[in-house]
Amino acid sequence: MHSFPQPALALVDEMTKAALADPAQAVAFQGAPGCNGHRAALEFDPDCLPLPCFSFEDALDAVKEGKAARAIIPIENSQHGRVADIHFLLPESGLYIIGEHFLRITHALMGLTEGPFAAAYSHPQALGQSRHFLRERGIVPMAYADTAGAAAFVKEQGDPAACAIAPRIAAELYGLKIVDEAVEDSHDNTTRFVVLANKPADADAIKGHPAMTTLVFEVRNVPAALYKAMGGFATNGVNMTKLESYQKGASFSATMFYADIVGAPGQANVDLALEELAFHCKDMRVLGTYPMARQRG
């Protein structure tokens, strides 16, 4: 399946036409209208024209093809960790990270009736963020492409035993009843989004502001390579706020690392740290330098 449920199509068509008429103002996001990506786009730039895309790849392609100037993509959640596949998609996209946005996440349980419900549809991240709530009620989690799309799917199927976990606005858009609110297991639930474009962020947008830099790298396959590669950040006083590994290919012998650091190339300590990192790496790429949206530490 690679299309939106019928109840969402009219809204998708309307928003797509508006965005394609003015690509410079368009921000592509993954999901049906009313999803958290839609909310994030409007919070990041209230004047933007949100462009709904079925998959993350579609949202990134919309920028590469000039249909939208930017895409906003969830990368990690405070409760459920990183968003699946993003670490592969971002380096492969050829796009640059030009911004970040933190979105407070709250989920509502919605359906055609007030229950009881046998199954709940939503994005795997939202299901994971609400797993205790669902388990306590004996509701089976069912993965769907996005939260709001799940709400539209429940409306389309017409099954009174099915419900969706989605932002409150999805119930209004697709004519569902809100049965319970704030069903996420942790009430400081937050998702970090990154904003991507075809060109790096303008230096003037970063100058004078705290900056973040995101990079991916593969260390040489020798003992203590990662330890030595990390040494440059410590000795040069560069704060690394995130470091995650993921496998490259099926051999399990090549490990890629995704990292966020505080600072920007051009700063002496950052340049020295990156120079030392590159010495110990087979491959290193900076995915973007952008204004820090929230202080670390």
Active-site residue numbers?
191, 193
Please name the residues in contact with 17: beta carbons below 8 A apart, sequence gap of 6 or more: none
